[in-house]
């Protein structure tokens, strides 16, 4: 509520809006154009900012997020009707009405082909969710760009990295899609005896903190 109120009063053009989180289905705060806002919070924490001390230990991170992750929620719901539809009929949400802002993102149309099939009906573009038949090679790009080196990389290391990458992506996609991706990559079933993947570490000048959610 505080961030949404700031966006109404600010003269800088910043706009904070609440949209559906594609993984949990609950509300989350986003900054347009399109950044995800995460909050780092610790008890009994303060920050030095210039010559003053900020007693509230909150730090807000605004990081870019692919709009397709947010659109998947609506595309998958519309796919149950089994027909092509214009996006303005797909991206509709009474709980999070600001979802229509996603349709105004200039780069969106160039990205849609990754997760949809397109048809033009009555001079208007219609879309249908088709990720499951897209035949996207997930493993090769990961191996070639992220894990390439002159020496042979161990299979265990690659599997660990792919498991970790799957965990990060799963924070942004529905549970059923995460399960489908796990099966496609032939990942092992999670075991209670296996340690959790290491959290990423964020360093600031003079301090450090660990995150438990993707930024």
Domain positions in the chain: 15-48+57-134, 157-187
Instruction: Report the C-alpha gap between 158 and 146 in whole angstroms.
Output: 10
Q: How many helices (H) and strands (E) does the chain have?
A: 7, 10
Instruction: Report the C-alpha gap between 29 and 45 in whole angstroms.
Output: 23
How much is the pLDDT for 78? 92
Q: How far is CA 27 from CA 24, 69, 109, 178, 191, in A?
A: 8, 14, 25, 20, 30
Instruction: Report the C-alpha gap between 66 and 45 in whole angstroms.
Output: 32
Instruction: Report the C-alpha gap between 21 and 70 in whole angstroms.
Output: 7
How much is the pLDDT for 212? 35
Instruction: Report the C-alpha gap between 186 and 189 in whole angstroms.
Output: 9
How much is the pLDDT for 129? 92
Report mean pLDDT in 10-residue bins for the chain, 215 residues: 61 77 88 81 77 78 87 91 93 92 88 92 92 47 39 59 85 88 85 48 36 34
How much is the pLDDT for 94? 93
How much is the pLDDT for 200? 41
């Amino acid at each position: 509520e505080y961030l949404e109120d700031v966006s109404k009063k600010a003269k800088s053009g910043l706009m904070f809006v609440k949209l559906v989180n594609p993984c949990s289905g609950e509300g989350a705060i986003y900054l347009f154009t399109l950044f995800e806002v995460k909050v780092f919070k610790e008890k009994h924490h303060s920050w030095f900012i210039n010559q003053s001390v900020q007693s509230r230990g909150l730090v807000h991170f605004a990081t870019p997020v692919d709009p397709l992750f947010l659109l998947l929620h609506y595309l998958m719901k519309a796919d149950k009707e089994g027909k092509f539809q214009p996006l303005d009929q797909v991206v509709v949400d009474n709980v999070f009405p600001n979802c229509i802002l996603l349709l105004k993102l200039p780069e969106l149309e160039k990205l849609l082909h990754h997760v949809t099939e397109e048809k033009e009906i009555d001079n208007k573009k219609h879309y249908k969710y088709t990720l499951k038949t897209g035949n996207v090679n997930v493993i090769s790009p990961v191996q070639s760009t992220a894990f390439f080196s002159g020496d042979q990389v161990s299979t265990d290391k690659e599997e660990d990295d792919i498991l970790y990458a799957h965990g990060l992506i799963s924070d942004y996609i529905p549970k059923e899609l995460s399960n489908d991706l796990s099966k496609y990559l032939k990942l092992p079933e999670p075991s209670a005896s296996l340690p959790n993947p290491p959290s990423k570490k964020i360093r600031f000048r003079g301090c450090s903190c660990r995150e438990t959610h993707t930024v």
